Amino acid sequence: MKGYNIIGLYNVLTSLIYTKICHRKARLIRLPVSIRGSENIDLGEGLVSGRYCRIDALSKKNRQISFGNNCQINDSVHIAAIDSINIGDNVLIASRVFITDHQHGCYSGNNISFPEELASQRRLSSKPVTLGNNVWVGEGVCILPGVSIGDNSIIGANSVVTKSLPKNVIACGNPVKVIKEFDERSQTWRSL
């Protein structure tokens, strides 16, 4: 394996053995990794992960977290679900990305949480999250509950995704804003 020193080669081989024993459908799960609720997670065919990833399915619901085929998640990605996070095929997720379908408390509607409630004891509220096929999520992105990202979209580094995005767009910022879309007629990316 080109480019690895002896310690790097040992780490990759150890990770490969772990993957083939514990997550047979995946291509490579690099260690260390934390996967809680694995019975409620579908890693899809050919998943590759970086080191220090954390994937948490936090309730008893079947298939809370679902990856499509040939996804790649890089180092220190944290994905946490109490309801539903669905990730399409061929999705690329850069390092230090956080994706969640829930939050501590409810801050709109009739049954709201109050400021004096202890944050750790506020009831959890959730909304499903979906990433379409061939989505690229940049470094340090945070994807929040209720978001749907369309096929082939790109999320720029350090963006906070608080609303759904259509297919074939480039979006960035805090909160995220679409800055380009792919024009089918001219076959070019058009600035907005």
Q: Which residues have a Cβ under 8 Å from the Cβ of 6 and sit 6 or more positions away?
A: none
- Give the residue numbers marked as catalytic: 104
Sign of the CA dihedral running 117, 113, 40, 52: negative
> How much is the pLDDT for 2?
74
Average pLDDT, the chain: 95
> How much is the pLDDT for 63?
79
Distance CA 1, CA 150 (A): 36
Q: Which residue has the tokens 């907005």?
A: 192
Name the pLDDT band for 1 (thresholds 50, 70, 90): low
Name the pLDDT band for 3 (thresholds 50, 70, 90): confident
> How much is the pLDDT for 108?
86
pLDDT tens sequence across 129-181: 999 999 999 999 999 999 999 999 999 999 999 999 999 999 999 999 999 99
Q: Where are the alpha helices (H) located in the chain, listed in sequence order?
A: 6-22
Is pLDDT larger for residue 3 or for residue 145? 145
Name the pLDDT band for 62 (thresholds 50, 70, 90): confident
Distance CA 129, CA 57 (A): 13
Nearest residue to 124 via CA among 39, 56, 38, 66: 56
> How much is the pLDDT for 95?
98
> How much is the pLDDT for 80?
97
C-beta of residue 91 within 8 angstroms of C-beta of residue 131: yes
Q: CA 70 from chain center: how many Å?
A: 14
Does residue 4 have a pLDDT over 90? no
Question: Which whole number is the average pLDDT over 67-81?
Answer: 98
> How much is the pLDDT for 103?
94
Asked which of 1-5, 30-34, 57-61 is least confident by mean pLDDT, the reply is: 1-5
Q: What is the pTM of this model?
A: 0.94
pLDDT tens sequence across 28-57: 999 999 999 999 999 999 999 999 999 999
Sign of the CA dihedral running 148, 152, 156, 157: positive
- Give the chain's end-to-end CA distance (angstroms, integer): 44
Question: Which whole number is the average pLDDT over 95-114?
Answer: 93
